[in-house]
Chains A and B, each alone.
Chain A
Amino acid sequence: MKYAIETNDLVKVYDNNFKAVDNLNLFVENKTIGGILGPNGAGKTTTIKMLTCLIPKTSGEAKVAGFDITKEPDEVRNRIGMVPQMVSLYKDLTVRENVELCADFYNVDQSTKDKKIDDLLELVDIKYAQDKYVKQLSGGMQQKTSVVASLVHSPDILFLDEPTVGLDPTTKRVLWDLMVDLNEEGRTIILCSHDMYEVDKICDNINIIDSGKVVANDTPQGLKDQLLSNIEENNKQIRESIFKLEQEGIDENKEQINGLKSSLTDESEKVTVLVSNINEDMLNSLENLDVVQEVTTLGNTRLNISLKRSETSVNEVISTILKNGGNIASIKTNDPTLEDVFVAITAKSRRRINDGT
């Protein structure tokens, strides 16, 4: 089985004729961590509800763990776990009672049930609180209990919907490590989140959904590279248009040319260098480099440099600093983040919808 999740032209239309999912083609490879991103109202939750057999599809096909969600829902349910954003445990039951309830609802073998529960409680480090009522626990501990309840039947696929919302950074990291560990054990993890750092950090592959469709699908780095190449391609087209207009007459097309110029996206590479011994010669040499567009200093030890993107531009900067007696403590390139990718892609998708294309 190549894909843990596989949808073909999946559609969901609600009773009020709202099309929440529109011919969705979503693929998540088996035993990977797949991220699902999308703005509010993009159709993520509806998609997850269909994939977890909570609501029926309207049309199309979807397979989860190789089983059809409509024809074999119980097979699907046996192979998936779900950690929802809102902790949906019974607050007046203890941690252990909640997990035992889930184990029995998943028909977990009685002979191994207790050991399995003990192991899982130890795995997330809440065994000491197993006899506490859920309502007595902190948000982080409740979410850990929710994870245990979702894993008690050893699912092949674990869905997590905004699992770290409202949690402190330490607990977040514990949950991220847990997701990675579970994936390394051979489970597929499907993570829905608005936390771009979280998704970037742990996902192997990302599907961005908007208006019920997949609008981008790649690795986190692949998406960032796509964004850069899209910017370059877009700028190239704008520059060609500017050139044509200038040929036709700068004065006549002044307004149009200025408009196009302002729509150019900054495609330079921003580099921050932490360096000791900054001197005039060093700054002059850097400014004279062809690849350098701008150099600014921040305090006595920090250089912010804008570079033309090329394979050698960062090397040239490093050599120039070293030649002029500088000692580099660290160098950081400010590449586009996943958030930049998300904003660019969803904005583009919205423009297409508004334009009717």
Chain B
Amino acid sequence: MERKKIWWMIKKDLLTLWRHKVQFVSLILFPILMIALCGWGMGGTVENTPVVIVKQTSGYITDQAINAIKEDKTFEVKDILSDPDEAKKMVDKGEVKSAIILSSDFEKDGSRNAILYIDSSDQMTTQMVVPTTQRIFASLSEQIEINKIASANRNTNQLTSMKQAIKLQINKIYGEIEYIDFLLPGVLAMTMFMSSMLGLGDSIAGERERGELARLFMTPTSISSVLTGKIISQVVKEMIRAIILILSAMLIFNVVLNGSLALLILVMLISVLCFVGFAMMISATAKTQEDYIQIVMPLAIPMMFICGVFFPKETMPWLLQKISYILPLTYAEDAFRAVMLQGAGLSSIAMDLVVLLMFTALFFIVGVVRFNRDI
């Protein structure tokens, strides 16, 4: 008997989704939109920064410097001027992000000067442009010195070995991981979390507000049957959303999936259960959807930032790092990153999954106990 009721709850929610075209389209488009925004808008790589070069002298070194700047993807050289003041005005007006000024003594040995005039209000561009410019000029300086020594008939092999006195070997153990690869697991966890919150809000608080739940609770039916049906239908919806999100990321941005797909689906399932449980616990006592949103938002929004969705947790202050350990999103996001980026196996993420399951059990128990049948 109870199975039939649970099935009705699932059927009702899925039929409503199918017949409510806006909801259905949103289910499909939302994950694609999320990944497109994150991939293109927050990809983390600064390229084609508009710059202007000021050339106050001519010569071989000046040409070398200009070519090096032009060839670097970070820059898009808008113009080459001779007047430094004009170049600075362009930066001040926001026409370009920086001006690279090669001074009039740039061709003279011992007094070569270059000035980087940069709009530091754009912190992300500054962080990228300054080291790139430093790298270009360091490389150029090194080449000038090597050329000088070589022209003095010294052993160039010795010079090369001097240059490589310390060899740095970079070994990227998980391959070429870009920011979008780092971002995807976090975005996946965050999308599942937010849509579980909002979806169950309508499903429980909304139905309570519209009196639909009251009709069900006036029948000889246990609270747990109704909630189980609601949770299963929400889990189905969130799994569809998550799979669309992963496929979009793979197809649009060639995102890497180093781990097992089956394990990833298991992590998704447990995470969704946990998030839906959390939403159910909150909606247990919310009389209206507005009440529910007022409770959920102050909890959900900080969670997205504390749990390391956009930046590694380790870069956050000590207190926030500690708080993140009592939030389920942290463990979901850890497990996703481990499977997707590091190719971790079940044993490596077992602790994350156990913690998520413990949170899930806690949320369900508290939710069912606190849930009341009141209209």
Q: Which residue of A lies closest to B226 (CB)?
A: A105
Task: Kindly supply a per-residue 1/0 record for chain A positions 39-73, scoring 1 wherever the CB is within 8 Å of any chain B CB and 0 otherwise.
Answer: 00000000001001111000000000000000001
Contacts of B4 in A (CB 8 A): 104
- B212 with A89: CB separation less than 8 A: yes
- A3 interface contact, C-beta 8 A: no
- A107 with B217: CB separation less than 8 A: no
Contacts of A106 in B (CB 8 A): 219-220
Question: A55-B372, A90-B12, A92-B20 are contacts. A104–B5 as well, Cβ < 8 Å?
Answer: yes
Question: A49-B374, A101-B12 are contacts. A88–B217 as well, Cβ < 8 Å?
Answer: no
User: By the criterion of a CB under 8 Å from any partner CB, how many residues of chain A are at the interface?
Assistant: 28
Contacts of A53 in B (CB 8 A): 218, 373
Nearest Cβ on chain A to B227's Cβ, whole angstroms: 14
* Partner of A78 from B1, B211, B220 at Cβ < 8 Å: B220
- B5 with A105: CB separation less than 8 A: yes
- A77 interface contact, C-beta 8 A: yes
* Partner of B214 from A54, A80, A104, A133 at Cβ < 8 Å: A54
Contacts of B29 in A (CB 8 A): none
Contacts of A101 in B (CB 8 A): 8, 12
- B375 interface contact, C-beta 8 A: yes
| Distance A133 CA – B219 CA, assembled complex (angstroms) | 23
- A86 interface contact, C-beta 8 A: yes
Q: Which residue of A lies closest to B219 (CB)?
A: A105
- B15 with A93: CB separation less than 8 A: yes
- A326 interface contact, C-beta 8 A: no
Task: Kindly supply a per-residue 1/0 record for chain B positions 1-35, scoring 1 wherever the CB is within 8 Å of any chain A CB and 0 otherwise.
Answer: 10011001000100110011000000000000000
- A88 with B214: CB separation less than 8 A: yes
- B374 with A54: CB separation less than 8 A: yes
Nearest Cβ on chain B to A111's Cβ, whole angstroms: 14
Q: In B209-235, which residues have CB < 8 Å from any A CB?
A: 210-212, 214-221
| Distance A331 CA – B138 CA, assembled complex (angstroms) | 114
- A84 with B217: CB separation less than 8 A: no
- A84 with B215: CB separation less than 8 A: yes
Contacts of B211 in A (CB 8 A): 84, 86-88
Contacts of B20 in A (CB 8 A): 92
Contacts of A97 in B (CB 8 A): 12, 15
Question: A88-B214, A105-B5 are contacts. A77–B374 as well, Cβ < 8 Å?
Answer: no
Q: Which residue of B lies closest to A105 (CB)?
A: B219
- B12 with A82: CB separation less than 8 A: no
Task: Kindly supply a per-residue 1/0 record for chain B positions 96-112, scoring 1 wherever the CB is within 8 Å of any chain A CB and 0 otherwise.
Answer: 00000000000000000
Nearest Cβ on chain B to A153's Cβ, whole angstroms: 8
| Distance A107 CA – B12 CA, assembled complex (angstroms) | 17
Q: In A137-174, which residues have CB < 8 Å from any B CB?
A: 149
- A74 interface contact, C-beta 8 A: yes
Contacts of A49 in B (CB 8 A): 374-375
- A102 with B219: CB separation less than 8 A: yes
Nearest Cβ on chain B to A57's Cβ, whole angstroms: 13
| Distance A84 CA – B211 CA, assembled complex (angstroms) | 8
* Partner of B218 from A54, A89, A104 at Cβ < 8 Å: A54
| Distance A74 CA – B221 CA, assembled complex (angstroms) | 8
Contacts of A93 in B (CB 8 A): 12, 15-16
Q: In B187-241, which residues have CB < 8 Å from any A CB?
A: 210-212, 214-221
| Distance A97 CA – B217 CA, assembled complex (angstroms) | 18
Q: In A197-252, which residues have CB < 8 Å from any B CB?
A: none
Question: A88-B211, A88-B212, A89-B212 are contacts. A52–B218 as well, Cβ < 8 Å?
Answer: yes
- B215 with A80: CB separation less than 8 A: no
Q: Which residue of B lies closest to A135 (CB)?
A: B19
Q: List 25 A-B contacts (CB under 8 A).
A: A49-B375, A54-B214, A54-B217, A54-B218, A54-B373, A73-B220, A80-B218, A82-B215, A84-B215, A84-B375, A86-B210, A87-B211, A88-B214, A89-B212, A90-B12, A90-B16, A92-B16, A93-B15, A93-B16, A104-B8, A105-B5, A105-B216, A106-B219, A107-B1, A149-B215
- Nearest first, the 5 closest Cβ-Cβ pairs linking A and B are A88-B211, A105-B219, A74-B220, A92-B16, A77-B220
B interface residues, Cβ below 8 angstroms from A: 1, 4-5, 8, 12, 15-16, 19-20, 210-212, 214-221, 372-375
